[in-house]
Amino acid sequence: AATNPAGALYTVGADKTKICDTCAKTCVESLCPQTTTPEDYWQRDGQRMEKACTLSLRKKMLELTYDCKSAGGGAASVAAKTYEAIKGCPTTDPQPTGGYSMNFKRLKNYTLSDKGALEEAIKEWWSPLEKIGLGTNLEFTDGSPLTSFANMAYEETSKFACSVKNCPNIGKTLVMCQYNPPITGGDNIYEPGKVCSGCRNLGKQCSDPQGLCV
């Protein structure tokens, strides 16, 4: 039974064919994964960052989907390739899958949970924005100190995959995330404007209150 002294562990469904109705886009092995994504961080800390960095609102912010499809002509999914890149606890930084940008972080704590590691890594990837600011020129340049932020905030990014690996042998936790499509030099990170005002041109609707084009 799905019970414990504190109460039910989960709600039993009557129809197995509807097991993933609440997370059709992200369902993996009949489970609905819930974790921190770049869009979560943007929405949660957007007000604080705007005060610190005069961060403009975005006309279109795509809903991110977890990328479980194959890439690069191979059978393995991007999610699987992301995990494969760090599962052996490499001492050199991994390379992104072709057609993807990558953020990678070595955290100095090998006991972090997956969720805790992702939250800490994403916070650090966003931190250059708070220190440097974005200004009015939103054009991305290769090698920019804002690269980790731009990889997540790029307005065309619609898919991502992340993996976490605890590595007691090196005393660290590795976090790797990949994003598609990747931002390149000369691209604007995003177009400022009224939230969701660019959704219609994409044939999408605005989700309320998240402010995403879905």
Query: How many Å apart are CA 95 and CA 85, to the nearest integer?
Result: 8
In a domain, 146, yes or no: yes
Using only the alpha carbons of the chain, give its radius of gyration: 19
CATH code, domain with 59: 3.40.33.10
In a domain, 11, yes or no: no
Tell me, what's the pLDDT at 46? 41
Query: How many Å apart are CA 18 and CA 13, to the nearest integer?
Result: 8
H-assigned helices in 114-159: 114-132, 147-153
In a domain, 211, yes or no: no
Tell me, what's the pLDDT at 43? 43
Cβ atoms of 182 and 101 within 8 Å: the answer is: yes
Query: How many Å apart are CA 115 and CA 147, to the nearest integer?
Result: 23
In a domain, 69, yes or no: yes
Tell me, what's the pLDDT at 134? 82
Angle between helices 114-132 and 38-53 (to 10 degrees): 30
Tokens of 186: 């000369």
In a domain, 148, yes or no: yes
Strands 159-167 and 206-207: unpaired
- Tens place of pLDDT for every residue, the chain, 214 residues? 333 333 444 444 545 455 555 555 545 444 454 444 555 544 444 443 443 344 567 777 788 888 887 655 555 789 999 999 999 999 999 999 999 999 999 999 999 999 999 999 999 999 988 888 887 889 999 999 999 999 998 999 999 999 999 999 999 999 999 999 999 999 999 888 888 888 888 888 888 767 888 8
Cβ atoms of 70 and 76 within 8 Å: the answer is: yes
Query: How many Å apart are CA 48 and CA 8, to the nearest integer?
Result: 37
Q: Domain range spanning residue 150?
A: 16-202
Q: Which of 126, 143, 167 is nearest to 43 (CA)?
A: 126
In a domain, 157, yes or no: yes
* DSSP 3-state of 178: strand
Q: Give backbone dihedrals phi and psi of 75, rounded to 5 degrees, phi first.
A: -85, -25
Number of structural domains, the chain?
1
Tokens of 58: 């975005």
* DSSP 3-state of 45: helix
In a domain, 91, yes or no: yes
Tell me, what's the pLDDT at 100? 96
